[in-house]
Structure 1
Amino acid sequence: MLMVYKLKVNTMGRCISTSLAKRFSFEDLVNKLTDKYRCTRYRDALHIEDDGHIFLFRYGVMVTWDISHDCEKRIRHEIEPFCINPLPDPYFEHFNFELNADQNRISGDRICIEGSDALQLMAVSHGLAQSSKLNELESYAEQTIEETAHIPRSMAVKGRTNLSRRDISKMRGKLFLVESDINLHHALLDTPEFFWEYPEMENLYIMTAKYLDIQPRIEVLNRKLTIIHEIFGMLADEQKHKHSSLLEWIIIWLIAIEILIFLFHDLLKWF
């Protein structure tokens, strides 16, 4: 009897995860692309099939699997009008991949997946997208800490800052925006809701998140966020101190004026 074996064909290529913007105008983006491409929506992500696989995530990240440079350029051009606060310098992460591999693993920036199903690619893409967004938030927090490092140094040396009350208010406003922006995206770094519907795919996500050190990096980001919050608190105290000092000087001048009026009017009888 002739035995027929179905051979698995290994597919190899490149995978790129790119953080393009703070977020997408997602509903409008989905409506635009579903009219033109073969698309499947998974909660806050969109899967596009072109000459490869493209996954778009609501929080401004695109993950591509083996698409041509021309296709990537075309898709990015179509996405551009739907980018909210586009990043001047997008964050890229590059990987090689192999489908229909012997086992699921990631090593040396090479992703190996036992199958080739779109859901498997989506599961891995969730981890890649979170890593790219985390890169953006890490850089944002680090830049903010560097820009405000002179404040605690000045307070340590002089016991105060040289900033005016107006400058302190502006700095507090900026720190508040940074803190709220990071907190807003922080929930996106939890296990995606996609795996509520496809729990059998979660192991691929866990493998990816572990390789990319998602959890340790979130803990580091939390510490940076704590530093930003403490600087915010220092500025709030400094602003209160400056305001209190201003009120004290106003009271002192009012008392001085009242004393002068008493001297000239009641004692010297000048008027």
Structure 2
Amino acid sequence: MFRWGRMVDTPTPAFPPLHARAVLLGERIDTAGLERRDALSTVPLAFRVGEQGMAVVFRYGVVVLIGLDTLAEDEVLRGIAPRVVAPFDKREEEVAVLAPAEADERVDPDGLVRILDRTPPRLIVVAHAVAASAVLAHHERQVDEVLDIVEPWASNLARSGRRFAGRRHIIRLIGQALLVEHRVSGRVAVGDKPDLLWDRPDLGRLYARLENEFELDERAEVLNRKLGLIGQTARLMTDLIDTERSLRLEAAIVALIVFEIALTLYQMARGLP
């Protein structure tokens, strides 16, 4: 359940466009000890930065920075960096531009997100969507890299009927596929709605439009299909390796039997005991 800090949910006047930038820093962020008395929420951890800015920290490795300039963003990221578990060499980012809405909250054709106000609950809902999009982009790139490895294996198998990789490489491929699948379905839970919506069902429409804008469900479904293809291919390659090993073992047993028979016949022919 979503847990609030000292939240002041009062309407705000019209505001200039501001950026919500999600940065995927690593496998996980240890938020223990980061809690503050002035925190806007604890799950996810959200707090003010300066007078108008906000930072939202997700335990699955993402920080969303809203309404901050470059210097303030760098300062927040440097402060969180020591708490990042298994940091990534390449940081994935996702950006949404927010602007005030006159009546109905929506996403314009150009991607501009229209919200009624910049109160913390609305900004946290936006943060959920851009954070999930950044994580999906990271995993999409990982899966595409694995598919780039699978494709030449499949091409070589179709062309020559033989595989050219060892069992260890295939097991590594299976491990990469399982790891990505675990991160997408387990840690991030892209298909799950923000806990905030239990307390604020009126924000469900905004999240649904953000979800549609970033195509979260569709991308997760495509990602799962690709993971299934990778797993199926890896299992096929493992079965081929096992079959080849069985054939070699059978050939070795037959060779030993033939050798034993030949030796026995030789001894009989020479009259040896």
Common fold by TM > 0.5: yes
Is 1:10–1:100's contact at 8 Å kept on the other side of the alignment? no
In structure 1, how many angstroms separate the alpha carbons of the residues matched to 2:103 and 2:198?
A: 27
How big is the shift at 1:131? 0.8
Alignment of 1:53-72 (within 5 A): 53-72=54-73
Unaligned runs of 5+ in 1: 1-5
In structure 1, how many angstroms separate the alpha carbons of the residues matched to 2:220 and 2:70?
A: 32
Matched AA of 1:261: L
In structure 2, how many angstroms separate the alpha carbons of the residues matched to 1:229 and 1:210?
A: 28
Identity of aligned residues (%): 20
In structure 2, how many angstroms separate the alpha carbons of the residues matched to 1:73 and 1:13?
A: 17
In structure 2, how many angstroms separate the alpha carbons of the residues matched to 1:223 and 1:41?
A: 35
3-state SS of 2:266 partner: helix
Pick one of 197, 200, 204 that aligns with 1:198: 200
TM (normalized to structure 2)? 0.85
- CA spacing shift, 1:84–1:235, aligned 2, 3 Å: farther
Question: Who is 1:122 aligned against?
Answer: 124
How big is the shift at 1:264? 2.5
Matched AA of 2:240: E
Alignment of 1:163-178 (within 5 A): 163=165, 167-178=166-177
- CA spacing shift, 1:10–1:184, aligned 2, 3 Å: closer
Q: Where does structure 1 differ by over 4 angstroms across 4 or more consecutive aligned residues? A: none
Is 2:12–2:118's contact at 8 Å kept on the other side of the alignment? no
Is 2:35–2:45's contact at 8 Å kept on the other side of the alignment? no
Question: Who is 1:38 aligned against?
Answer: 38
Pick one of 212, 226, 229 that aligns with 2:231: 229
Is 1:101–1:115's contact at 8 Å kept on the other side of the alignment? no
- CA spacing shift, 1:16–1:199, aligned 2, 3 Å: same
Q: How many residue pairs are counted as aligned between the two chains?
A: 257
Determine whether 1:104 maps to 2:105.
yes
In structure 2, how many angstroms separate the alpha carbons of the residues matched to 1:249 and 1:241?
A: 12
3-state SS of 2:17 partner: strand
Is 1:8–1:100's contact at 8 Å kept on the other side of the alignment? no
- CA spacing shift, 1:93–1:247, aligned 2, 3 Å: same
Matched AA of 1:22: E
Question: Who is 1:10 aligned against?
Answer: 15
3-state SS of 1:38 partner: coil
In structure 2, how many angstroms separate the alpha carbons of the residues matched to 1:8 and 1:40?
A: 19
Question: Who is 1:249 aligned against?
Answer: 251
Question: What do the CA deviations read for 1:205-258 (whole angstroms, capped 9, x no partner)?
Answer: 111011111122122112211211121111121121122122112212221221
Question: What do the CA deviations read for 1:68-103 (whole angstroms, capped 9, x no partner)?
Answer: 212211111122222222221111122321246543
Determine whether 1:143 maps to 2:145.
yes
- CA spacing shift, 1:198–1:270, aligned 2, 3 Å: farther
Is 1:179–1:228's contact at 8 Å kept on the other side of the alignment? no
Matched AA of 2:77: R
Unaligned runs of 5+ in 2: 1-10
- Counting helix residues as a fraction of each chain, which structure ranks higher? 1
Is 2:39–2:45's contact at 8 Å kept on the other side of the alignment? yes
Is 2:12–2:117's contact at 8 Å kept on the other side of the alignment? no
- CA spacing shift, 1:184–1:269, aligned 2, 3 Å: farther
Question: Who is 2:181 aligned against?
Answer: 182
Is 1:100–1:116's contact at 8 Å kept on the other side of the alignment? no
Is 2:136–2:184's contact at 8 Å kept on the other side of the alignment? no
